[in-house]
Chains A and B, each alone.
Chain A
Amino acid sequence: MGRYVIRRLLQMIPVFFGATLLIFLMVNVMGDPVAGLCGDRECDPATAARLRAEFGLDQPVWQQYATYMGNVFSGDFGTAFNGQRVTELMAGAFPVTIRLTLVAIVFEIVIGISLGVLTGLRRGRPVDTGVLLMTLVVISIPTFVTGLLLQLLLGVKWGLVKPAVSSAATVDELLVPGLVLASVSLAYVTRLTRTSVAENSRADYVRTAVAKGLPRRRVVSRHLLRNSLIPVVTFIGTDVGALMGGAIVTERIFNIHGVGYQLYQGILRQSSQTVVGFVTVLVLVFLLANLLVDILYAVLDPRIRYA
């Protein structure tokens, strides 16, 4: 197990460098960011040259990348164009997004898996058909529609919640955005669990467990569910990364100053330091989440062993 983890960690190094280099190049292709700093007019050439020097934009791209990576390893992610340290932006954005992601994941696990087990055990019954139909609807409606609709109904028409999340972004404020963010994945989790449970409920070991007289609850939770969760865990694991980076739409709708918002702002202002910094961290999160998923396999299914 230990050797496996070390091997995986070592594999992350080339992925990390490749991903950051790609992002760095992509942001650079977008053109000269300094031109956008002076509003609807040309920066005077001397100031523009000074700004380029300040942000290191006057050097060739490979040198910029080398300097940047050197700084990253000493914990310096550079400065955004508004003079704010990128690390400062991260310190503000990541806690918010992590809270949002956690809320979303909890929704996925609690609602998604319960509905999945429920429908998986009652295949073909009205409950099953009803939930299946509902997941279909949720999957086919884009997030921004659900988001705006819930915001309008709950926030404005019925006044149950504040439509915009405050800058503190407490967990109770994040419930609705979290649900919106989770909605599509939640539907997938339901379907995955349902199929997996339905399949495994006919397995030999379940029949054996029933035959030896175990209580139904124990059969479902210990034998059936544990074996059925592998595809679901894979899905949720990769979803952690997707939720953290892909919350741009939800974050904009609900005024959440998280990672998605900072990325959007960074892209609009062509602030390579912001974009590369945030994406780098997201890449790390993604890699670690995947590793965690692989390790969880072994926990869920004793037949899987890593050497």
Chain B
Amino acid sequence: MRGAALAQWTACAVAVALAATACGGGDNGGGASGVVRSSWGDPANPLEPANTNEVQGGKVLDMLFRGLKRYDPKTGEAKDMLAEKIVTTDSRDFTVTVKDGWTFSNGEKVTAKSFVDAWNYGAHLENNQRNAYFFGYIEGYDKVHPEKGRATADTLSGLRVKDARTFTVRLTQKFSTWPETLGYAAFAPLPRAFFDDHDAWLAKPVGNGPYTVESYARGSQMTMRKWGEYPGPDKARNGGVDLQVFTDNNTAYTALTAGNLDLVDDVPASQLKNVRADLGDRYINSPAGIIQTLAFPYYDDRWNADGMEKVRKGLSMAINRQQITETIFQRTRTPAKDWTSPVLAAEGGFDDALCGEACEFKPAEAKKLVAEGGGIPGGTLKITFNADTGSHREWVDAVCNSINNALGNDRACTGNPVGTFADFRSQITDRKMTGPFRAGWQMDYPLVQNFLQPLYYTNASSNDGKWTNEEFDGLIDEANAESDPVKAVEKFKAAEKVARDQMAAIPLWYQNGSAGYSDRISNVALNPFSVPVYNEITVN
């Protein structure tokens, strides 16, 4: 303990030296004008609606924009926001009517054209928008965003402005729940300023949401203030939000405990043990639409062979999800029981009995199944993951331990770390995986379709393992064409059962959103996308 004592002594000395310069705390007022100080991370991509695919940029867009639909922060249900009505007779041609009286914060009216221009921009190949594929269901997408070569059209032929408040959309296929995808940020309307002076807009974005950007110092802070004339029903209940970029989530957490920060929406794994003691009931741990799975490389013949579904099922049953979620994640994850998420609720397609015994920890049966299926290809299971973020190493080691114990073989499973996320993704894209790999999925919109089609449909955008199954594809097509939502959900679940029987991917756990906040603010909640509902927060 000498080291600690001495360090304390040093600390004392420093404390004396600093007593004179100690800084006063932040002292902005409370009540409706109070400002919330929230932690932030530097967005990875430029802050454009169709170019933002991670939570940090998503937070800003959620405060800055309102689209045709908005997902209810509590239930996740898609509710009309700017949409007066969206009608269709054949689940393929939609007529959208925009509500009257909405403007952007610079005074420009939000019209049908604001949406059509924004979507055309988002879809066009030359604008390099990371989320362009969201417009892939709209007719003419293959012309503005061909897989190879240059675009042959400037606008989506499926979008037509009828009058100031109406536009029509024609899809490439029947997609009955398409209107419910419109709450996603990529579908936000954009003001003319975005197109006329793009650089100026990026430096200080203008939207139609409850907040306006007062100042934006890239990489360090964004100051958002309440927009007084916001016409929507969900007005901000605080004076504004200061989003402060932190170099490390541990530092942000420390700043919160010291009272220099009000809200941290990413409690670091290493602090989960202390969080109850530090924050008491000012800690939120609520379900989010995120599921973690282990995907398999089906382009590798060894994993695609007959009988391997038994091995995969056996491996799934060899994982003690309960123990791992409790000890490593401190219950911020819930053992998975299907391939969707509890935020969908039963009527939305979540079914906690769907996976059944295949997701339960049964070591004896697991060993038997793996042996029946012909054993692990190559003798050793290598779980590939990126080691730079998200404390993945801990759980991969735990999963491997669990598998090794169940199979009674110390060399059955080992982790295979990849240095950076970018390298991890590029190895997946280049189909270099030889064994299971970490696959995380954060929903774009709360629909069961979003948990199945992008991940398991043949050649879908996030089907990293290249799993393919005709029966599954057929059921998904049928489900999309089904106009009755209840029947559609049943069809999706039928497809999910096909994925289960083949164990297309091993579901591990549902991830919760976690956040901690100071006693200066209240009414803090996370929406199903694990983003704080900023406009509801009140400052005491």
Contact = CB atoms under 8 A, between A and B. Distances in A.
A153 B258 CA distance: 10
A255 B125 contact: no
Interface in A259-280: 261, 264-265, 267-270
A204 B462 CA distance: 78
B248 interface: yes
A175 B8 contact: no
B428 interface: yes
Contacts of B426: 31-36
B23 A172 contact: yes
Contacts of B251: 163-164, 252-255
A176 B247 contact: no
A149 B18 contact: no
Contacts of A251: 247
A171 B21 CA distance: 10
B255 A36 contact: no
A154 B14 CA distance: 9
A45 interface: yes
Nearest to A164: B255
A246 interface: no
Interface in B443-469: 454, 461-462, 464
Given A47-B128, A137-B6, A257 B220 contact: yes
Contact of B246 (A160, A164, A175, A176): A164
Contacts of A294: none
A41 B461 contact: yes
Contacts of A88: 218
Contacts of A35: 422-423, 425-426, 428-429
A252 B248 contact: yes
Nearest to A43: B130
B261 interface: yes
B392 to A, nearest CB: 12
Contacts of A41: 454, 461-462, 464
Interface string A12-43: 00000000000000000011111111111111
A36 B261 CA distance: 30
Contacts of A30: 419-420, 422-423
B84 to A, nearest CB: 33
Contact of B462 (A42, A45, A81, A268): A42
Interface of A: 30-47, 50-51, 54, 81-84, 88-89, 92, 134, 137-138, 140-141, 145-146, 149-156, 158-164, 166-167, 172-173, 175-176, 179, 251-257, 261, 264-265, 267-270
A175 B245 CA distance: 21
A50 B132 CA distance: 12
Nearest to B125: A46
Given A82-B43, A163-B260, A149 B7 contact: yes
A269 B44 contact: yes
A51 B3 contact: no
Contacts of A42: 425, 428-429, 461-462, 464
Given A40-B440, A255-B248, A167 B422 contact: no
Contacts of B126: 50
B257 interface: yes
Given A38-B130, A154-B11, A160-B18, A46 B145 contact: yes
B130 A150 contact: no
B245 A257 contact: yes
A253 B133 CA distance: 38
Nearest to B48: A83
Contact of B125 (A47, A176, A264): A47
Interface string B43-75: 111100000011000000000000000000000
Contacts of A158: 15
Contacts of A153: 8, 11, 15
B388 interface: yes
A82 B442 contact: no
Contacts of A156: 254, 257-258
B420 A36 contact: yes
B277 interface: no
B408 interface: no
B358 to A, nearest CB: 24
B425 A161 contact: no
Given A39-B130, A82-B42, A149-B11, 17 more contacts: A30-B420, A31-B420, A42-B425, A44-B132, A44-B133, A44-B145, A44-B147, A46-B125, A47-B132, A50-B126, A153-B15, A164-B255, A175-B21, A251-B247, A253-B250, A265-B42, A270-B420
B44 A82 contact: yes
A82 B245 CA distance: 14
A264 B439 CA distance: 24
Contact of B255 (A137, A162, A261): A162
A159 B146 contact: no
A44 B202 CA distance: 24
A154 to B, nearest CB: 6
Contacts of A32: 422-423, 426, 429-430
A113 to B, nearest CB: 17
A47 B3 CA distance: 54
A137 B10 CA distance: 11
Give the 5 A-B residue pairs with the shortest CB-CB distance, closest first: A36-B422, A35-B426, A167-B220, A35-B425, A83-B46
